């Protein structure tokens, strides 16, 4: 039953995705999302998780979540502005602000929510947004929610950004102009040129907005890309996630006290989404404490990343311009990329193919994410599987 028009449309589109190698099969895990996972009764070395530091399964975080759930319940019961703000939420936001070096922070149910919230609450009709062409989909969608003019600049091209910033400012058409960039670009692993971006912003009076989802917990002693460059007092808004290196779920905007007040009054995801559950908040607090107390997890993460990246390069694979633990193995053709991933799967390596529309057409890649929890034996097994698949598909000699 139901609409025949809808059925015809959906079936045709799904068939087209499958023909073009763009259809993604979702497989449920039968274990925790650690360095080794279990699916379909088999175990795999897991290189597709954003659980960078292994905190998603950390006993201290689990204990904190359990205790908070016992005390406060499984859900917060309301949106933040009614009575869904627990003392835990306030504690988390204070810790995040101190960690990021800002006056305040506002927590949201997800990182995606943050970009829906902050961009649309600040930018509107009569404004302009300068956005890196490889920014995350949530930034693109956040920009779409505004009536601002969106001006894309070439990826990390400071001459292009400078020229477009000058043109936008000198046009006199825009009340406010914002420049938005990822801190770490999730598909290539390269780092934004924040010192240059901030310099351009200060020259042309731009609002600076950095989505640091993949830099938080990884760079700047864990505080992120902005802290890595010593720019905490010169960036207006820092967006972070609690679901990657922090290991839990949620997101936050770190900013000035007045911007935080405005977001709480006018950002729709804050006003209309039930707040983060107590267990997730308590686990996130425990994670921030852990990151502030020790650098051991970051050191292990970077060591494992260097081991895998050096091994892939020696085999003859291209891993692009990565400067972080994110390790893309560029294959190119979408169908060949999917086949490569399937061959790794047969060898017990779970490394998902990333193809259009997540990345531009013709730049399909296997996105490998070594974590602090991987062992050298796991990574050696991965390299053996890569060599075998690469030779069979003619990607390496």
List, for residues 331-351, the tens digit of each pLDDT value: 999 989 999 999 999 999 999
What is the reported pLDDT for 1? 66
What is the reported pLDDT for 123? 98
List, for residues 286-315, the tens digit of each pLDDT value: 999 999 888 999 999 999 999 999 999 999
3-class secondary structure, 151: strand
What is the reported pLDDT for 230? 96
Q: What is the mean pLDDT of the chain?
A: 95
H helices of the chain, in order, are 4-19, 59-72, 87-100, 111-122, 137-144, 158-171, 194-204, 225-228, 257-266, 268-272, 278-293, 296-315, 334-346, 376-392
Catalytic residue among 149, 164, 244, 374: 244
Domains recognised in the chain with CATH numbers: 21-50+295-392 (3.90.1150.10), 57-293 (3.40.640.10)
Contacts of 143 (CB under 8 A, 6+ apart): 119, 123, 129, 131, 150, 180
What is the reported pLDDT for 19? 84
Q: Is 376 a catalytic residue?
A: no
Catalytic residue among 49, 120, 156, 186: 186
Q: Is 264 a catalytic residue?
A: no
Rounded Cα gap, residues 172 and 191, in angstroms: 32
In angstroms, the Cα distances linking 352 to 34, 76, 349, 374 are: 15, 34, 9, 17
Q: Is 193 a catalytic residue?
A: no
Secondary structure element (H or E) that encloses residue 36, with its range: strand 36-39
Residues in the chain, pLDDT under 50: none
| Percentage, residues of the chain above pLDDT 90 | 92
Catalytic residue among 149, 214, 227, 228: 214
What is the reported pLDDT for 146? 95
| Percentage, residues of the chain above pLDDT 70 | 99
């Amino acid at each position: 039953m139901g609409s025949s028009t809808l059925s015809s449309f959906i079936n045709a589109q799904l068939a087209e995705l499958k023909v073009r190698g763009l259809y993604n099969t979702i497989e449920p895990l039968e274990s925790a999302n650690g360095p080794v996972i279990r699916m379909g009764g088999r175990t795999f070395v897991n290189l597709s998780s954003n659980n960078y530091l292994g905190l998603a399964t950390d006993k201290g975080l689990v204990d904190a979540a359990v205790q908070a759930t016992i005390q406060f319940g499984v859900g917060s019961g309301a949106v933040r502005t009614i009575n869904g703000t627990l003392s835990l939420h306030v504690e988390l936001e204070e810790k995040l602000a101190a960690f990021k070096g800002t006056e305040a922070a506002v927590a949201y149910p997800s990182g995606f929510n943050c970009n829906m919230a902050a961009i649309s609450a600040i930018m509107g009709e009569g404004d302009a947004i300068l956005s890196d062409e490889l920014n995350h989909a949530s930034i693109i969608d956040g920009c779409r929610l505004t009536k601002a003019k969106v001006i894309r600049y070439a990826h990390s091209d400071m001459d292009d950004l400078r020229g477009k910033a000058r043109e936008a400012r000198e046009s006199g058409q825009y009340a406010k102009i914002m420049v938005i960039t990822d801190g770490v670009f999730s598909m290539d692993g390269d780092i934004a040129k924040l010192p240059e971006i901030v310099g351009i912003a200060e020259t042309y009076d731009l609002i600076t907005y950095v989505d640091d989802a993949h830099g938080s917990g990884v760079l700047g002693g864990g505080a992120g890309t902005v802290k890595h460059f010593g720019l905490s007092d010169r960036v207006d808004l820092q967006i972070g996630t609690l679901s990657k290196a922090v290991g839990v779920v949620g997101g936050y905007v770190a900013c000035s006290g007045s911007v935080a007040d405005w977001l709480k009054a006018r950002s729709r995801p804050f006003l209309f989404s039930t707040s983060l559950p107590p267990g997730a908040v308590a686990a996130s607090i425990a994670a921030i404490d852990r990151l502030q107390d020790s650098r051991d997890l970051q050191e292990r993460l970077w060591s494992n990343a260097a081991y895998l990246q050096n091994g892939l390069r020696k085999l003859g694979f291209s891993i692009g311009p990565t400067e972080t633990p994110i390790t893309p193995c560029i294959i190119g053709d979408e169908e060949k990329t999917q086949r490569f991933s399937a061959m790794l799967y047969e060898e017990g390596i779970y490394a998902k193919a990333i193809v259009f529309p997540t990345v531009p057409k013709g730049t399909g890649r296997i996105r490998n994410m070594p974590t602090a929890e991987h062992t050298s034996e796991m990574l050696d097994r991965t390299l053996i599987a890569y060599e075998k698949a690469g030779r069979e598909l003619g990607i390496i000699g």
